[in-house]
Amino acid sequence: MIQMAPLIRADLEGLDARDALAPLRERFTLPEGILYLDGNSLGALPKATAARVAQVIEAEWGKDLIKGWRQHGWMALPSRVGEKIARLVGAEPGQVVAVDTTSINLFKLLAAALRLKPGRKTILSEAGNFPTDLYIAQGLAELLGSGYRLRLVEKDEILDAIDGDVAVVSLTHVDFKTAEIHDMAGITAHAQAKGALMLWDLCHSAGAVPVALDRCRADLAVGCGYKYLNGGPGAPAFLYVARRLQEALEQPLTGWLGHADPFAFEPHYRPAAGIARTVCSTPSVLGLAALECGVDAMLAADFAALNAKSTALTELFIRLIEERCSTFGFTLASPREAVRRGSQVSLRHRDGYAIVQALIARGVIGDFRAPDYMRFGFAPVYLRYVDVWDAVEHLRRVMAEAAWQRAEFQSRAAVT
Amino acid sequence: MIQMAPLIRADLEGLDARDALAPLRERFTLPEGILYLDGNSLGALPKATAARVAQVIEAEWGKDLIKGWRQHGWMALPSRVGEKIARLVGAEPGQVVAVDTTSINLFKLLAAALRLKPGRKTILSEAGNFPTDLYIAQGLAELLGSGYRLRLVEKDEILDAIDGDVAVVSLTHVDFKTAEIHDMAGITAHAQAKGALMLWDLCHSAGAVPVALDRCRADLAVGCGYKYLNGGPGAPAFLYVARRLQEALEQPLTGWLGHADPFAFEPHYRPAAGIARTVCSTPSVLGLAALECGVDAMLAADFAALNAKSTALTELFIRLIEERCSTFGFTLASPREAVRRGSQVSLRHRDGYAIVQALIARGVIGDFRAPDYMRFGFAPVYLRYVDVWDAVEHLRRVMAEAAWQRAEFQSRAAVT
- In tens, the pLDDT along B5-42 reads 899 999 999 999 999 999 999 999 999 999 999 999 99
Nearest CA in chain A to B129: A267
Nearest CA in chain A to B284: A234
* Paired strand residues for A150: A123
User: What is d(CA B292, CA B89) in angstroms, rounded to the nearest whole number?
Assistant: 15
Residues from chain B that touch A141, judged by Cβ atoms under 8 A, are none
Residues from chain B that touch A36, judged by Cβ atoms under 8 A, are 65
Residue A279 has what pLDDT?
Answer: 98
CB contact under 8 A, A31 and B64: yes
Which backbone phi and psi does A332 adopt, to 5 degrees?
-75, 120
Residues from chain B that touch A119, judged by Cβ atoms under 8 A, are none
Residue B414 has what pLDDT?
Answer: 45
Interface contacts A/B by beta carbons within 8 Å = 275
Of B259, B264, B287, the CB nearest to A284: B287
Residues from chain B that touch A269, judged by Cβ atoms under 8 A, are 134-135, 138-139
Is there a contact between A291 and A236 (Cβ–Cβ < 8 Å)?
yes
Residues from chain A that touch B267, judged by Cβ atoms under 8 A, are 127, 131, 134, 152
CB contact under 8 A, B131 and A256: yes
User: What is d(CA A77, CA A84) in angstroms, rounded to the nearest whole number?
Assistant: 11
Q: Which of B66, B125, B356 to mutate to test the interface with A (most CBs of A within 10 A)?
A: B66
pLDDT-based confidence at residue B410 (cuts at 50, 70, 90): confident
Of B44, B103, B282, the CB nearest to A255: B103
Residue B416 has what pLDDT?
Answer: 42
CB contact under 8 A, B290 and A290: no
User: What is d(CA B403, CA B398) in angstroms, rounded to the nearest whole number?
Assistant: 5
Residue A276 has what pLDDT?
Answer: 98
Of B38, B256, B288, the CB nearest to A66: B38
pLDDT-based confidence at residue B110 (cuts at 50, 70, 90): very high
CB contact under 8 A, B104 and A100: yes
Residue B298 has what pLDDT?
Answer: 95
Q: Which of A178, A266, A282, A416 to mutate to test the interface with B (most CBs of B within 10 A)?
A: A282
Of B65, B134, B254, the CB nearest to A365: B65
**C-alpha closest to that of B29 among B21, B15, B39:** B39
CA A377 to centroid of chain Cα atoms? 11
Respond yes or no: is residue A226 known to be catalytic: yes
Nearest CA in chain A to B55: A50
Residue A410 has what pLDDT?
Answer: 85
Residues 6+ apart with CB under 8 A from A242: A95, A213, A214, A217, A218, A219, A220
Q: Which of B97, B150, B228, B253 to mutate to test the interface with A (most CBs of A within 10 A)?
A: B253
Residue A415 has what pLDDT?
Answer: 45
CB contact under 8 A, A263 and B63: no
Residues from chain B that touch A62, judged by Cβ atoms under 8 A, are 29, 31, 45, 50
DSSP code for A413: G
Of B50, B144, B290, the CB nearest to A58: B50
Which backbone phi and psi does A169 adopt, to 5 degrees?
-100, 125
Helix axes A131-144, B131-144, angle to 10 degrees: 80
Residues in chain A predicted with pLDDT less than 70, given as ranges, are: 1-3, 413-416
Question: Where in A197-352 does DSSP place strands (E)?
Answer: 197-201, 220-223, 238-241, 331-332, 344-348
Provide the pairing of β-strand B122-126 with B166-172: parallel
Residues from chain B that touch A139, judged by Cβ atoms under 8 A, are 251-254, 269
Q: Is B159 exposed, middle or buried (0-12, 13-18, 19+ CB in 10 A)?
A: middle
Question: For B232, left (φ over 0), alpha (ψ -120 to 50), or beta?
Answer: left
Residues in chain B, overall count: 416
Q: Can you tell me whether residue A329 is helix, strand or coil? A: coil
User: What is d(CA A118, CA A114) in angstroms, rounded to the nearest whole number?
Assistant: 6
Nearest CA in chain B to A70: B416
User: What is d(CA B371, CA B368) in angstroms, rounded to the nearest whole number?
Assistant: 9
User: What is d(CA B367, CA B357) in angstroms, rounded to the nearest whole number?
Assistant: 8
Task: Measure A249 CA to nearest chain B CA, in Å.
Answer: 12
Residue A403 has what pLDDT?
Answer: 86
Distances (CA, A) of B121 to A166, B219, B342: 29, 18, 32
User: What is d(CA B162, CA A270) in angstroms, rounded to the nearest whole number?
Assistant: 27
CB contact under 8 A, B259 and A131: yes
Nearest CA in chain B to A291: B286
Average pLDDT over residues B387-410: 94
Is there a contact between A44 and A230 (Cβ–Cβ < 8 Å)?
yes
CB contact under 8 A, A281 and B104: yes
- DSSP for A349-410? -TTHHHHHHHHHHTTEE-EEETTTEEEEE--TTT--HHHHHHHHHHHHHHHHTTGGGSHHHH
pLDDT-based confidence at residue B413 (cuts at 50, 70, 90): low
Nearest CA in chain A to B139: A252
The one catalytic residue among A130, A176, A228, A238: A130
Residue A3 has what pLDDT?
Answer: 53
Task: Measure B5 CA to nearest chain A CA, in Å.
Answer: 36
CB contact under 8 A, A58 and B263: no
Residue B1 has what pLDDT?
Answer: 52
Cis before residue B371, ω within 30 degrees of 0? Answer: yes
Residues from chain B that touch A107, judged by Cβ atoms under 8 A, are 252-253
The one catalytic residue among A38, A100, A201, A387: A201
Respond yes or no: is residue A117 known to be catalytic: no
CB contact under 8 A, B253 and A132: no
Residues from chain A that touch B119, judged by Cβ atoms under 8 A, are none
H-state helical runs in A74-222: 77-88, 102-116, 131-144, 158-161, 184-193
> What digits encode the pLDDT tens for the residues B272-322?
999 999 999 999 999 999 999 999 999 998 889 999 999 999 999 999 999
CB contact under 8 A, A45 and B29: no
User: What is d(CA B277, CA B253) in angstroms, rounded to the nearest whole number?
Assistant: 9
Provide the pairing of β-strand B331-332 with B344-348: antiparallel
CB contact under 8 A, A290 and B50: no
Residue B5 has what pLDDT?
Answer: 85
Q: How far apart are the first and last CA of chain B?
A: 36
Q: Which of A153, A238, A269, A293 to mutate to test the interface with B (most CBs of B within 10 A)?
A: A269
Cis before residue B78, ω within 30 degrees of 0? Answer: no
Mean pLDDT over each residue of chain B, to the nearest integer: 96
Q: Can you tell me whether residue B200 is helix, strand or coil? A: strand
Respond yes or no: is residue A227 known to be catalytic: yes
Residues from chain A that touch B250, judged by Cβ atoms under 8 A, are 142
User: What is d(CA B206, CA B310) in angstroms, rounded to the nearest whole number?
Assistant: 13
The one catalytic residue among A28, A36, A176, A226: A226
